[in-house]
Amino acid sequence: MSLKTTIDAKGNGLYAVAINGRLDTDTAPQLEKQLEGILAGDVRAVRFEMSGLDYLSSMGIRILFKTFKALKQKKAMFLMANLQPQIKKVIDIAQALPPETIFSSVAEADAYFDAMQKKVLDSGDDDV
């Protein structure tokens, strides 16, 4: 009810996850469950679209950070785009996630993902 998520698998290993509403004590378990499915599979990146996210608490940050760690372990990318000012502020003051994972637009985040994928391909050896 208070958190609405849409997940769009882009086909190139990029999962676009739009989160809308409130990510807090009440709703964090719901997102955690939804992300588990993605993280269990073959994922190259999760990109969160956050323009509709109005409220974020430490319980929500916990899930985002957990996802960041899981993706890092898989040598996959964690990206966030379109954060409302108050959400960005909470992430900033919590010092919970690397600032370089925050992008001002979806296009910017996806371009970064594409560039990094190309780099991996060009370098010839994958993450084995």
Partner 1 sequence: MAHRKPKKQSIASDGPARSWKRLIPNDLAEVEGALRSFESFLASGPVAETACYNALLSLEEAVTNVIKYAFADGRDHIIGVEARLGPSEIVIEVSDDGREFDPVSAPPPDFDLPFEERPVGGLGIHLLRKLTSRMAYERAGGRNLLTLVLELDP
**How far apart are the C-alpha atoms of 82 and 48, rounded to whole Å?**
9
Number of residues forming the site for partner 1 (CB under 8 A): 23
Pick between residue 72 and residue 118 the one whose CB is nearest to partner 1: 72
Report if residue 20 touches partner 1, rule: CB under 8 A.
Answer: no
**How far apart are the C-alpha atoms of 105 and 32, rounded to whole Å?**
24
Residues ≥6 apart with Cβ < 8 Å to 117: 12, 13, 44
Report if residue 90 touches partner 1, rule: CB under 8 A.
Answer: yes
Beta bridge partners of 47: 16, 79
DSSP assigned state of 27 = T
Report if residue 88 touches partner 1, rule: CB under 8 A.
Answer: no
Report if residue 26 touches partner 1, rule: CB under 8 A.
Answer: yes
Catalog residues that contact partner 1 under the rule CB under 8 A. Answer: 2, 24-26, 55, 57-59, 61-62, 65-66, 68-69, 72, 86, 90, 93-98
